[in-house]
Structure 1
Amino acid sequence: MKRNLNIFTLIIGLAVSSCNNDYLERYPIAELAPENYFRTASELQTFTNAFYADLPDALAIHYNTPGQGDDEARNTLASEFQGTRTTPASGGGWAWTSLRRINFYLENSHKCADEAARLQYDGVARFFRAYFYYDKIVRFGDVPWYDKVNQLDDPAMFKPRDSRKVVFAKILEDLDFAIANCNTNKSPQLISKWTALAFKSRMCLFEGTFRKYHGLGDWEDILQQSVAAADELMRSNTYSIYKGDPSKAYQELFIAEEANPAEMILARQYSATVPFVHSANFYILSASYGRPGMVKELVNSYLMKDGSRFTDKPNFDKLSFYDETQDRDPRLSQTIRTPGYKRIGASTTSVPDFATSVTGYQYVKYILSPVFDAGQSSNDMPIIRYAEVLLNYAEAKAELGTISQNDIDRSIKLLRDRVNMPNLVLAHANSKIDPYLLSSYPNVSKSGQTGVILEIRRERRIELVKEGLRYDDLLRWKEGAKVARPFYGMYFPGAGEYDLDRDSKLDLVIYEGTAPVKKPGVQYQKLGELVLENGKSGGRIVNLPDILKKWTEEKDYYYPIPTQELQLNPKLEQNKGWDKSGT
């Protein structure tokens, strides 16, 4: 049972805030007009509670299609991966209601005589303003900066976009205020000083590497600030990496009913008793909701258990499912079904289900027992983990060219210790660069630190898989074209009978022509419906072979501004490559 159902306070706040649907309204609701409100600490808390509704929910974290980037294939393809996005008439992420609520609060919180409370909740509000604007610059680049409530006749409503560098400097001011004034209580559900530090490490890593790889300049100081924020949090000893049995500790973190406060800095809270639930089991295991599966390139990226590279093995891409999953980084078997997998509460093993996973690499991350399969999952969902902070620290130092073995020992080693994996060795990474990773990231910085940068990217991808961060990583590294490459699944030499887990029982039949007489407990896939890259001669499963994938470097790193907004404010300029007319 949940100990602190803070989320339900936030739901009440959301119900209040939902009355404000128009950015141009005078007040969110009449009862909250400034002459009647913002007088007590309790009123400040109640108002700022509504801001939490803007945090991502379970659907956005584990299922949002672009968010998973090139890690995941489904039976549908996002428009971002097809190059079929068009300029919308409205919407498209160009929404400002949340910002208006935040600015409305900040203009009126001074009415509270309790200065300590005011500073604390102002810190929360400014965290959320930074969070709001971070999302906007990731999505659109340059955006207009507003730090007050503007009325319809205010000329500021029709200003041009401010540069992302100007906006980012304002974001840093807000986050630094939050770091200085939010409380220091640990809570996975509430914003604290630690949340602000962790988020600063994330957004400065994004902005610093985006500027570096997109040639925007002024990136070094931003990466230094990412390092400093992460380092302050690390030195505080407030958080740690959750450890337990190495064969299940990683998975346990994501199936826990309540977010583990040792590692989860910020999480979305759920409960079966209210109920306030999500549908992770259903989305991952249903045959009617995308049939998500990990792609083979990511499976290939997991190291061997002894720290050696799987992709150095002869014919690594032609190994059977059983052979390719043996003696690997334990996080692989705690992220997807591998031989010997048992669902929670089950006494028998389960092989991958090809009816619900298009690649055959079927997720177990977030998956609870079968009683939750109908869309009633109640495990908390991660938004910011301490593991990410460690990865942010290591990557920022590597991109700056200042990383040392001691830095790796303070960061990457802790993640590998959880699963009893050997540590990353800096000298080896840089002297023995992985050609597989190098081919995966052609735009990586070519320097004396190339090898360790690539290894940290490997670690980040594996540790944070299915947490909604991958697409943003590709954007900042200028590797968006990776989403336009073919998505592959398991390798099969052709039609035949397959014992996937080698327990002497038939699991899968891939057949040609007429379907054979079906046996209980056996899966049947028709060759041609299950597409192998070389047809009858076998190969990797090809996801959606008839759909063209496309990425346009000149425009696809940003989203377009809706046409209605361009018409309402002629000073707004459309992002490069996007048309004002909706093409």
Structure 2
Amino acid sequence: MKSKIYYILILGFITTGMIACKKDFLQRDPQTTITSNVFFQSTADLQTYSNGFYSQLSPSYDDINSDNIANYNASGTVDLMVRGGLSSANAGGWSKSDWGNLRKINYMLDHVKQVKGDAAEIRHYVGIARFFRGLFYFNMIKSYHNVPWYNTVLNSEDAALYKPQDPRAMVADSVLNDLTYAAANILPGGTNTRITKWAALTLLARYALHEGTFRKYHDEVGLTNDYQRFLDVAISASAQIMKDGGFSIVGSGGEGYRALFSSGNLSGNKEMILWADYGKELGVGNNTHTVLDYTWSLSKNLADTYLKTDGTPFTNTPGYNTKLYTEVFAGRDPRMKETIVNPDFRGPNNTTAPFRIKPTLGGYNQIKFYPRSADLMLGWVMNYTDLPIFRYAEVLLINAEAKAESGNITQTDLDQTVNLLRNRVQMPAMTIAVALDPVLSATYPNATATNRALLLEIRRERRVEMACEGLRYDDLVRWKSGKLLQDSQQGMYVPAMGALDVTGDGVADIAILASPNDESAIANVPEDIKKNLSKYYLKDKDGKDQNFYLTGGTSGFIAFTRDRDQPRNFIEPKYYYRPIPMVETVLNPALKQVFGW
């Protein structure tokens, strides 16, 4: 225990020294009495130092900024951008603090040669550092396209600090090299709350799929003739995990799916490649309760994507577009009810009273990741559910998609990937001869593959299986489907203003009304029901619009006044990238904006 505390203190001194640097953030030694010559002596030092990297990789439990979201009460870079408000003058990123993580990683790699110890163990920690450097630059490429590549800590006077961006092709290959090294040298054993060989292979597969499909669909980067080798890496990395990793799809039915996201203990879960450990005894909690009824809701578009239990598209159903909230969940993929709040939902602190949805958020609120036990949900940053970071389902989907994009997928491939996920929730198997869904075809008009219908169904499967896990925005970007981000997403269908039953018990629970001055739509509702209604108004008492409206005036889909009054627009290819802040281009004139920024 004492040695553990010692190393934590040493790490703290080093980190403090880094923060306290008076020169540029890429300079050599931290200004502290704990110098590199003293600290980097053993593999235990490498372990302690590399523990500081883990804050760069955290679980995600939302799909904010994507078409999976109908309404988001806050704002962010993507929202600002599609409403025309983002420019190099107000953009964030690229500052000293943004590059600080890279400096810490390269600092360790610069000093690892002085460490004494087992060579394989040293390579293991070098692999972890290169894993995080690969992750850092993966995110930078996604944001800025061309970025300067640094693989060492530089002096503040070094001319390389003021160099222009390196080409995407060069940086992308460097990331590939880092992640390939990590996957080859990080040891396979140990706890899955730390980076293992399998986590490194998962990030390698995710990155290779992203870069391969991005190159395939984004002709503006001039790399469409060099995408297949990345897809091949995605296939081989995912196949290695499938063959040798010992992971499996666990659980049965909707409850088995739910347990992946609302469990107090994931330590024995064979689907978890990397997970975050939260617990009251650790003093570490999360805020997953905010997914429900707080600042965002899920979209009708996402809800419509879930298949019926017979395996056919919901959008093929006559009248699907005017089904009531209490009707749309019947006979659907069980994952839908485990992702979107539904009439059957009961919260952990009130298991008898039905949950009433709020039309101000659209009606389709998120419940995936919501704690289902009162003892796991105790307050702000006091939820104690363990959360997945990498899970085996994504690996299977990467394998299937990369093979479909390559044009060499077989029924056996489907049975070993997608159909394992469908089997968990008792959904019909996907077949190689699946019919083309016209809705999916219109959603992704530029998708190309030998079997296009199958590729689109794999995209559907990825969307519903991985919903709210933070991947949807990147998927739309790499598929060059950014135009979907300008669509004003909607909520549930409302047949008429007045009282509505949203809990399925035949008794009205909420009412959507014109204003507090006009409640005529519920004039004939019995008093005993009327007094218990939760009322929501399209206008306030002064006639001002509220945050939502009905697309047909007195009926239709719930839509949002902000989208109506500040329409979204997605400019291609410009908005697939972010501007470098103007202040940074002044400090380094060699930096150049890309694609219209």
Give the deviation of 1:263 after TM superposition: 1.2
Q: Deviations over 1:517-561 (max 9, x none)?
A: 88454321123534111112x111112332211111131000111
Matching residue within 225, 230, 234 for 1:226: 234
Residue identity opposite 1:276 in structure 2:
V
Matching residue within 540, 552, 557 for 1:540: 557
Residue identity opposite 1:523 in structure 2:
S
Is 1:242 aligned to 2:250, yes or no? yes
**Stretch deviating more after TM superposition (385-394 or 252-261):** 252-261
Is 1:341 aligned to 2:333, yes or no? no
Residue identity opposite 1:550 in structure 2:
N
**Stretch deviating more after TM superposition (516-525 or 463-472):** 516-525
Residue identity opposite 1:559 in structure 2:
R
Distance 1:259 1:97, change over 3 A: same
- In 2, the alpha carbon distance for the partners of 1:233 and 1:441 equals 30
Give the deviation of 1:159 after TM superposition: 1.6
Is 1:556 aligned to 2:575, yes or no? yes
Structure 2 contact 70–488 (Cα < 8 Å) conserved: no
- The equivalent of 2:326 in structure 1 is 322
- The equivalent of 1:258 in structure 2 is 265
Give the deviation of 1:479 after TM superposition: 0.6
Distance 1:97 1:73, change over 3 A: same
- The equivalent of 1:20 in structure 2 is 18
**Stretch deviating more after TM superposition (25-34 or 328-337):** 25-34
Residue identity opposite 2:486 in structure 1:
A
- In 1, the alpha carbon distance for the partners of 2:592 and 2:458 equals 37
Is 1:385 aligned to 2:391, yes or no? yes
Matching residue within 46, 54, 57 for 2:56: 54
- SS at 1:573 equivalent: coil
Structure 1 contact 495–527 (Cα < 8 Å) conserved: no
- SS at 1:487 equivalent: coil
Runs of at least 5 residues in structure 1 that lack an aligned partner in the other structure:
1-5, 579-583
Distance 1:30 1:18, change over 3 A: closer
Give the deviation of 1:86 after TM superposition: 1.5
Residue identity opposite 1:280 in structure 2:
T
Is 1:267 aligned to 2:275, yes or no? yes
Structure 1 contact 14–53 (Cα < 8 Å) conserved: no
Is 1:132 aligned to 2:140, yes or no? no
**Stretch deviating more after TM superposition (150-159 or 84-93):** 84-93
- In 2, the alpha carbon distance for the partners of 1:551 and 1:128 equals 31
For these two proteins, the number of residue pairs brought into alignment is 556
Give the deviation of 1:158 after TM superposition: 1.7
Matching residue within 94, 118, 122 for 2:126: 122
Structure 1 contact 10–49 (Cα < 8 Å) conserved: no
Is 1:169 aligned to 2:173, yes or no? yes
Q: TM-score, normalised by structure 1?
A: 0.90
- SS at 1:62 equivalent: coil
- In 2, the alpha carbon distance for the partners of 1:389 and 1:373 equals 33
- The equivalent of 2:524 in structure 1 is none
- SS at 1:413 equivalent: helix
Matching residue within 151, 157, 165 for 2:155: 151
Structure 1 contact 24–151 (Cα < 8 Å) conserved: yes
Give the deviation of 1:182 after TM superposition: 0.7
- SS at 1:324 equivalent: coil
- The equivalent of 1:581 in structure 2 is none
- In 1, the alpha carbon distance for the partners of 2:409 and 2:496 equals 47
Alignment of 1:390-401 (within 5 A): 390-401=396-407
- The equivalent of 1:79 in structure 2 is 80
Residue identity opposite 1:449 in structure 2:
N
- In 1, the alpha carbon distance for the partners of 2:455 and 2:247 equals 25
Residue identity opposite 1:414 in structure 2:
L
- The equivalent of 2:460 in structure 1 is 458
- In 1, the alpha carbon distance for the partners of 2:347 and 2:135 equals 37
- In 2, the alpha carbon distance for the partners of 1:197 and 1:384 equals 10
Matching residue within 503, 519, 534 for 1:523: 534
CA RMSD, 1 decimal: 2.3
- In 1, the alpha carbon distance for the partners of 2:121 and 2:34 equals 18
Residue identity opposite 1:567 in structure 2:
V
- In 2, the alpha carbon distance for the partners of 1:118 and 1:16 equals 20
Q: TM-score, normalised by structure 2?
A: 0.88
Alignment of 1:180-579 (within 5 A): 180-215=184-219, 216-217=223-224, 218-244=226-252, 246-260=253-267, 261-282=269-290, 284-286=292-294, 290=295, 292-344=296-348, 346-354=350-358, 358-368=361-371, 369=373, 371-427=377-433, 429=434, 432-445=435-448, 447-513=449-515, 514=517, 516=519, 519=530, 521-528=532-539, 529=546, 530-536=548-554, 538-543=555-560, 544=562, 545-578=564-597
Runs of at least 5 residues in structure 2 that lack an aligned partner in the other structure:
520-526, 540-545
Distance 1:541 1:387, change over 3 A: same
- SS at 1:382 equivalent: strand
Give the deviation of 1:169 after TM superposition: 0.9
